[in-house]
Structure 1
Amino acid sequence: MMGNSYAMNVASFRGDINMALGAGIDGFALNVGPDAWMADRVNQMYAAAQGTPFKLFISLDMAVMADQSISGLTHWITDFAQHPNQYFYQNKQFVSTFAGESVTFGQGSANAGWSNFKNTLAGMGNPIYFVPSFTALGASAAMGMSSNDGAFSWDAWPTSNNAMSTASDNAYMSARNGKTYMAGVSPWFYTHFSYKNWIYKSDDLFTTRWEQVVAMQPDFLEIITWNDYGESSYIGPLNADFPYDSTLNSRQWCTGHEHTAWLELSSYYIQAYKNAAYPAITQNKLFWWYRTHSKDATATSDPYGKPTNWDSSADNIFLTVMLTGSATVTVTSGGSSQTFTGTAGLNKFQYKNFQTGTPSVQIDMGGRTVLNAQGPQPIVSNPTIYNWNPVAASSSF
């Protein structure tokens, strides 16, 4: 989200790029909007990538640029066409969007409008490979538009109280007809502003969704997101700007709620996706996450109330444990412990019905304790504001 990058520079962008490369991520989709300062930050991002194998491409945020003309958008493409870190696919500059399925650029339809956009760029010597997120249209219509070389689905979360389904993905995959499909993977969704205040059921979504995508093997995969703090879906560091409204700043639900453990966990699944086979586990690792208050808690000073769909979440502590051998995993919350038996490989556990206090995890292997880990934040009984954004942590042992 380049909209959150106002305070960043080449050095901080390079730090993000190095973190992403370390996890096996190949590039960033740069979500851009109409702010006058943003082109400078995008230039700095491209400068930061130079000298690395990391690729970049533009994703036009048409939710906030629907009033732009074609000539007002083409510079985002042409300015970086010659950059060595620009991502190309089939010898064409890769371009995506967030939304835009109703944008016509003065033509009779969105298909005609986006075709004109592509033709204009081709006429300037910049042919593009266009994979927009026209998710609102559905798979068949999005894939059926002649303007589109593929489709990116924003359906990375369950929108009901049910578990994440691959029905939407399957529809896109079936409708490709020679085009490409870019699937989305996301760890979480929670936003708490005056104009949007809801969650999507996210508890153990990240591992579930990763396993779905590894099995499906879509043409492309986009992790949603690196730094969208306002929607709590970030896996990168808390080092950029936080969206806000007139009353709340998302800093209030992000500070102390690190998610980089999810970036580290992603590395395992990225290898599995790229190789169509899960890698051998050669190091013991714990990944765990939890919310910092019960869904039934009452906030003392929240201006907006509980988010829509709040009751779909479980008051559980979620653990993914990579083991090279057998282990006993003991999770303690509020003085109450639950014990799980782990085996060599990847194990997923849930501590049911967490309690107030700082939780902890003890892992024993071969008759000795190999890890004692304290949670990064306590679980409180009465938060100041509602916060469905979890904390995530990791340990190697």
Structure 2
Amino acid sequence: MHLACVVGTRPEAIKLFPVIQAARAAGHRCDILSTGQHREMLDQALEGFALRATLDLGLMRPGQGLSALAAGVMAGLDPWLVAERPDWLLVQGDTTSAMAGALAGFHARIPVAHVEGGLRSHDLDAPFPEEANRAVIGRLARLHLAPTETARQNLLREGVPGGAIRVTGNTGVDALLAVASEAPDPPVTLDPARRLVLVTAHRRESQAAGLQRLARAMARLASRPDVQMVVPLHRNPLAAKPLAEALADCRSVTLLPPQNYRAFVALLCRAALVITDSGGVQEEAATLGVPVLVAREETDRPEAMDAGTTLLVGTGEAGLLAAAHRVLDAPPKPPRPSLAFGDGRDAPRILAALESARPVEARLPAMAVRP
């Protein structure tokens, strides 16, 4: 079986790594098609897992818009897909590169498998543009690899045939548990007398006013004498600037550049509280049983809240601060790890689904859809 994986961001590389590893171990050909749009972070992730891209589109452009990126992904992937004709084109999650990759596969008549399919917030503006991206992929995919039963139900309500859906768990859990078991060292010295608060923020819909409110709340929270705050900043300056400006003079705050995955997992394993607007971090923290405050107005991971470790608090300064104080003032409890998103054996289930569900479209010539 010949697989091809579209990878545009670091989270995509991390979550597809277990599938790539399982496929290659089983003797299948598995190509990595890199968009190259987040050059440093993506290369960092691929190198961390000893992976090399088969195709690199080199689409990194300063200030590049979403439409230009999507056009570049489709134009760049098309010749390779037409020439190589893999049995499956795998896209992961909800990025613009995943959506454009799925559309390129559809045009080339290559069956698309959607890893982490079925997540929905039911609000096209939150998260933006991710909610629209994954809805589009949901119409194009031939096989939907849903991480949870909730995701499966979302797809069924949208009319996806039940036979095209497999509940496999989330491969991000495979990667997380593998790295956490290595007990990596944190990238900063941690004070054992203080509680680690780990903060990440980058969502487009939160940029400007939302991130400024979050930054002000974190500056106030950092004044607690029992808190040590670590903030890995995003490479997007629109996301990084509000936090960097508000927290630069806080003595208990360490601002870091984007961290490699092992360093981030080391921090996550030691955190007393995580404050984030990231969907992936919600999954990872819930898996480890670390309390999470979600700085968003909507979440597409309700399973994290059902696990009892996650609270949706919005982007209001007062609400964020009050919720953080409640968690930190409560008596410490042992972690409550959750299997809501997977058990660490999700990649083999995905590989089995791909092996057993080869749609007839895989055998159709590309000429069938070309003028």
Please state which band the TM-score falls in when normalised by the shorter chain: 0.3 to 0.5
More helix by share: 2
Q: TM-score, normalised by structure 1?
A: 0.32
- Report which structure shows greater RCO (CA 8 Å, sep ≥6): 2
What is the TM-score of this pair, normalised by structure 2? 0.33
